[in-house]
Every structure is written in structure tokens, then in C-alpha cells.
Amino acid sequence: MNYNFDEVVDRSNNYAAKLEEMELKFGRDDLIPMWIADMDFKSPEVIIKAIKERVEQGIYGYTYRPSSYFAAVSQWLKKRHGWDAKSEWMIHSPGVVPTISIFIKEFTEPGDKIIIQPPVYYPFFEVVKNNGRELVLNNLKLVDGKYVMDYEDLEEKAKVGAKVLILCSPHNPAGRVWTREELTKLGEICLKYNIKVIADEIHSDLVFWDNKHIPFASINEEFCKNSITCIAPSKTFNLAGLQASVAILPNKEDRTKFDTALGILDIKRNNCFNLVATEAAYRHGEEWLEQLLKYLEGNIEFVNKYCAENIPKLKPNRPEATYLVWIDCRELGMDKEELSNFMINDMKVALDEGYWFGKPGEGYLRINVACPRITLQKALDRIKVAVNSVK
């Protein structure tokens, strides 16, 4: 079956956060929304059908998760990423960020140090600080236009007694797919200093060209037992509104402790629709995903070509994963406030602002390219007019 990713779907009655929250976030509601990381594509028909069938049952009571749910996740991870993650290691969670927050709350104490690697997904900053823990920044290095980990700095930060490192893999917004060697170096430092690793692998299915995602926990048994892996079908199949995620904790003691925390909050069951949607996605969504990846590759290439030919002051990256392009705007010579104002009032496009991802992100903007190409071109045309009017 061929899927039409060029179809423009009207989301004005969709209660879409990227539209409904835009004025609150940017001060106006007439921008082209290219910020929040969900897609403007309909989910696969197999998922829509599964949800419709569940709706038709007419009763939406407390929902039990059968073994087939976790078996579907396990089979997907084995086929797509070569990781034999056991079903019994898995716990349903309402989302990756809630998983990280609960883990930090249960496995660390107030004032404990948590390492993150900016520029990085900005909820990481919030989830650490809001839980009363201390942020430790192990900034990525930009080498020949490519972000790499700073292991010397990481070891120095690890020595001061950090308890947890939050790994973004693949990395948002850098778009890096970490290699086995890179992950091994990080994992060995964390073992040396008794630091648990939270691996946020929510973008693991959205990997392009010849790159290969390596689940951190798949590298060896020690890393496996020293980590929790967070995955979800939400980015892959555009299901963020269903709040479906899976936490994978191979360490039985850790798993029991985490499961107890979910029980205290009474969020172990969650809703009946993400149950059928997740299982349908992981059992029958692969054909759709393969076509999506090709379309997204085309959109990434389109942004790079368009900027090179029409807006040479802007330097987009070519992400190895995610549908998020990280644009270097430093040639505009603007500070973060000036760039923010320029984006909102001149470009008239809503993008994620680089400084949200930490100080190394200042001078950058992040654009979500998971949309029909005509929408992408419309946004880039606006950006071109604005940038080329700067003296």
C-alpha cells in the first residue's frame, strides 16, 4: 500500500497543542507551527482501525494489559534494533518524561546531581530542577559541524558524585545516532562512578540513511542492569496524545521499586485506546514507517538544499535521526532575544528556540519537518523573505 504524506490535514479542530498553545508561547497565533514534535501526518490506517474497533465496543472501563502488549514491543525491538528485551522487563508508563521524573524521584535524593548533555531536550532541565535535584551539564562539543560527547568533561563531572545520567539517544536536537563506541565509552564511565543511566530512546525508530540505532542496554549485561530504557510509539506513529510509553528495567530490584511508585500514583493501567494502538503499531505499522522514513529524508534534503540556494546565512544540519532539523542562525549576528523577536515577528514561523535547549543552543532554531512538503516550503519561503531583508 502506498501512503500519501503530501496530504494536508486541517488540524484547526484537532485541539492540537502546536496551534492552541502558540499564542501563549509566542504571543501571537498567526505563525506557521513548526515547533512541537508531533507530525502533521495521519497515523497508519491499521492503528485507526484498531481504535475504531475499540470505540465500537462502547465500554471504556479499567483496562488490563495482556501479555501480547509487551510481546509486541519485545518483537519490535528485536526486529528493528536487534535487542532481545524481555517482556518481563517492561512496565507501561504514560510517557517518557513522566518515567524519567518518577525514576529520579525514586532512585535519588533531593540535592543529588543529575548529568545531562546540552544542547538537549529542554524538559530534561525541568524534570531535574523541579524534583529538587542538581543539574550537572556535560555539554556536547561541535567538531567539524558534528556534535560529539566530551568524555574528559564527563569523567570530571562524574567524579563529583553524580547519581544519574540522562542519555538522549538518538539525540534531540543534535540529530545524532550514537555509535556503539560512543555509547560504550559513556557506559564505562557511568559504571566506574556508579551512575545509573536513563536512556531516552523515543526517537529510535526514526533513523535515516545508513545509520543504525544501538539500544544502550543491548551493548552488554552490565549496561543493561545499570539502566532504564524509555521508548514509546508516540514519535514513530504520531500517537503522543494517547500517552503510551514503555519503561524497560532489566534489573529486577529497580523494576519492583519503579512499579511500586506507579502503583502509588495509580497510573499503571492508563487508557484502553493506547493499548490497542500500541499493539497495532508494533505488529502492523512497519510498512507505513518505511515509507514515512523515505518522505522525511526527502524533507531533510529539501531544507538543506533550499537554505543553500536561497538562505545561505542559515546552516541547517542533516540529522541522522528524528524529524527535527537544527538550524545554525549565528551568521545573522543576533542575540537570543533578537533572534526570538525576529523569528516571531519577521519570519512569522513558530520554531523551537535554541536557547531552550541550554546555553550551547543559543543562536540556533529547531524546525519540525514532519509535515507535507508544501507546508515546509511555505514556512521556508517566509523565512527567506525575512532573512534576506536583513541589511
For 53-67, the pLDDT digits (tens) are 999 999 999 999 999
Closest to 288 in 3D by CA, of 10, 46, 76, 75: 46
Q: How far is CA 26 from CA 47, 49, 330, 336, 341, in A?
A: 33, 36, 21, 14, 9
Closest to 246 in 3D by CA, of 1, 365, 70, 375: 70
Instruction: Dump the DSSP string for 152-175.
Output: HHHHHHHHTT--EEEEESS-TTT-
Contacts of 59 by beta carbon, 8 Å cutoff, 6+ apart: none
Query: Cell 533578537 identifies what position?
Result: 338
Domain with CATH 3.40.640.10 in the chain: 59-283
Q: Are 242 and 54 in contact (CB under 8 A)?
A: no
- How confident is the model over 269-297, as pLDDT tens digits? 779 999 999 999 999 999 999 999 999 99
Q: How confident is the model at residue 175 (pLDDT cuts 50, 70, 90)?
A: very high
Q: What percent of the chain has pLDDT over 90?
A: 97
Could you please state the CATH topology (level 3) that the domain comprising 59-283 is classified under: Aspartate Aminotransferase; domain 2 (3.40.640)
Q: Across the chain, what does the average pLDDT equal?
A: 97
State how far the Cα of 216 lies from the Cα of 202, in Å rounded to an integer: 13
Query: Cell 519490535 identifies what position?
Result: 76
Q: How confident is the model at residue 174 (pLDDT cuts 50, 70, 90)?
A: very high
Question: DSSP secondary-structure letter at 343?
Answer: I
* Residue 268 pLDDT: 82
Q: How confident is the model at residue 391 (pLDDT cuts 50, 70, 90)?
A: confident
| Superfamily, domain 17-44+287-388 | Aspartate Aminotransferase, domain 1 (3.90.1150.10)
